[in-house]
Each structure stands twice: as structure tokens, then as C-alpha cells.
Homo-oligomer: A and B are copies of this chain.
Amino acid sequence: MTSEKLTTAPRKPASRRYDEGCAATHAMDIIGQRWALPVMRELMLGPRRFGDLKNSINGISANLLTQRLGSLEAGGVLRRATLPPPASVPVYELTRWGHAALPLFDAMGQWGARSPGHDHRRPLSATALLLTLRSMIDGAAAAPLEGTIRLTLDGEDFSWTKDGEDIRLARGTPDRWRVSIAGAPDVLAGWLFGEGEEAMLAAADQLSVEGDLDFAMRFADCFGAASSDF
């Protein structure tokens, strides 16, 4: 007889993905993998190095980052590349389709920011803050906020440019800006989203703002109202 195993019937592989014809769940099969979303987020503003990714994604370990970069490359979201000389360092960059996920970050940001359980005061990376701001401002009464803001977050420069309905984000220092704001991402978030005068003033103390201060204030007003909605 040698009855193999009565209790263990032949098991199916039991993939942890959805594998449906539904386009939304298929998207989730990709971005729903652990750490996939933060990785894509950190690449949305341009190519980055392995170590920089690891440092700006809070809590990820090297082996998991390796795994995720591998599966996202296999899925066509990103690719490995080497920066042109004299840099010649290996980086990861989004493919064209990977970049097309930007509206997805907008939609997720808009929905997530309105979550009853969302606490905007938790730490977040520079890219995370920029994309969150981008998602929260669109459609708001931010009409008179055309122009460029220079943001220095964690010591790195970024440019925020509102051009009509469009918000353009980029790494690097802009040529011209109406106001320049420097500080840690979570401090800036505390200032923009802070409820109560004291919280905002406390945050403002840790920021350095130069240029058109009135413009900065109107910028901040856009987010104070938007964070409490539902």
C-alpha cells in the first residue's frame, strides 16, 4: 500500500496574485507587491541608485529591495541603466509605462489623504511629500499660484512648478523661483497640514523660507483646508 499522505491532497500552487481579466486587479498584482509602490514613487522624479533608494524607503532591507527591483524589471515597470560618463554608476529608472503610473499616484493620494485613518504627521521621504502635495492640490482653488517654488528637502533641491492645470515636479535647482522653502519633509508637512495655529507656528520655526512670503502663505492655505474633507 504505502499510502502516501491521506491528509495532504495534491495542492495547487496557490499564487498570491489575482490573475484576473480585470485591469484594476492586474494593476494590483504589480503595485501591490510589498515595497513596489514606494520603489516606484522614489523613481517618479528620475533615476536613482540602489543605496539612495534604500535610504529613502523607510524600513526596507537590501534583499527585499533587490527582489522587488527584479520583479518590477521583469514586469516592465523599470529597468537598470548606467549613467553616462563620467558618472558611470548603475541606476534604476522607470520605463515609459512605469512613468504612466503618475495618475495612479494622484488618484491614490487623493483617496488616501481623505482616509479617516490617515495621519499626515508620520515621517515621509522628500519624493513622498512632493507627490502627496501634487495629488492634494489639483482641482483645488489654487488658481493664483502659478509659478515655481524651490524646495530643499533633506538637503536636496527640487522644483515645484504650477503651470495651468499642471503640476510639474523635478529634482534639481530651478533657474528662477518665487519662493524657496527648506526643511525636513515631515516638518514641511506639519506646517502645510497642521491643524491649529500653534502646530503651524512650531513647524514654521524649523523651516527656512525666502522670497515671496505671501505666496508661500497662500500655497500653504491650499492644503490646510483640503486635509479634512470626509
Contacts and interface: CB of A to CB of B under 8 A. Distances in A.
Given A19-B122, A22-B129, A22-B131, 5 more contacts: A21-B128, A21-B185, A23-B109, A97-B111, A104-B111
A43 interface: no
Interface of A is mostly: helix
Contacts of A123: 20-21
A229 B139 CA distance: 28
Interface string A109-137: 11111111111111111001101100110
A69 to B, nearest CB: 17
A172 interface: no
A97 B115 contact: yes
A108 B28 contact: yes
Interface string A48-60: 0000000000110
B31 A109 contact: no
A135 B34 contact: no
A114 B103 CA distance: 13
A30 B105 contact: no
A97 B116 contact: yes
A110 B115 contact: no
A76 interface: yes
B119 A21 contact: yes
